[in-house]
């Protein structure tokens, strides 16, 4: 269902479990939901979703989310282990980079490995976003 977009509308992305509920970002195959959202009238925590799209991979979900942000919407990424409120696609990439750094910093020194950066629960989405941003920078404008 499409709803009217207004100053309360925002781009929304979240990982979903097989039952359709919000899931934590993790290293397993994660499905994604991307939508236009706005706060549910009278609620502090619920949101109404419209133009809902579902994806089986982080890159496709990130492309849809960034496309909505390109329409002038700010963003919200919501999961039990990471909540972000990026105003721009670049801020989304920066926020995800910070999340990967924090995840790596949380690993005890004696357990750290060279491939930790590539194996956090936030890496797949972060890498997809950074690739999309790089492609956009390298695409000539007409």
Global pTM value: 0.85
- 4-23 pLDDT tens trace: 688 899 999 999 988 888 88
- Is residue 1 included in any domain, yes or no? no
Asked if residue 36 belongs to a domain, the reply is yes
Number of domains in the chain: 1
Domain range holding 61?
10-138
| Within a domain: 5 | no
Tell me the Ramachandran region of residue 42: left when phi exceeds 0, alpha when psi lies from -120 to 50, beta otherwise: left
Residue 126 included in any domain: yes
Q: Within a domain: residue 69? A: yes
- Alpha carbon distance 30, 11 (integer Å): 19
Residue 42 belongs to some domain of the structure = yes
Nearest to 37, CA basis, from 55, 49, 46: 49
pLDDT of 30-65, one tens digit each? 799 999 999 999 988 899 999 999 999 999 999 999
Residue at 3 is within a domain? no
């Amino acid at each position: 269902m499409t709803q009217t977009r207004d100053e309360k509308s925002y781009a929304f992305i979240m990982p979903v479990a097989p039952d359709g509920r919000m899931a934590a970002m993790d290293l397993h195959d994660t499905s994604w939901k991307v939508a236009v959202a706005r706060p549910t009238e009278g609620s502090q925590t619920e949101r109404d979703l419209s133009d809902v799209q579902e994806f089986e991979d982080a890159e496709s979900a990130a492309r849809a989310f960034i496309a909505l942000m390109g329409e002038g919407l700010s963003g919200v990424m919501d999961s039990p282990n990471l909540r972000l409120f990026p105003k721009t696609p670049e801020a989304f990439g920066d926020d995800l980079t910070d999340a990967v750094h924090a995840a790596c910093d949380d690993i005890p020194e004696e357990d750290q490995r060279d491939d930790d950066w590539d194996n956090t629960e936030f890496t797949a989405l972060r890498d997809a976003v950074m690739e999309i941003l790089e492609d956009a920078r390298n695409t000539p404008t007409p």
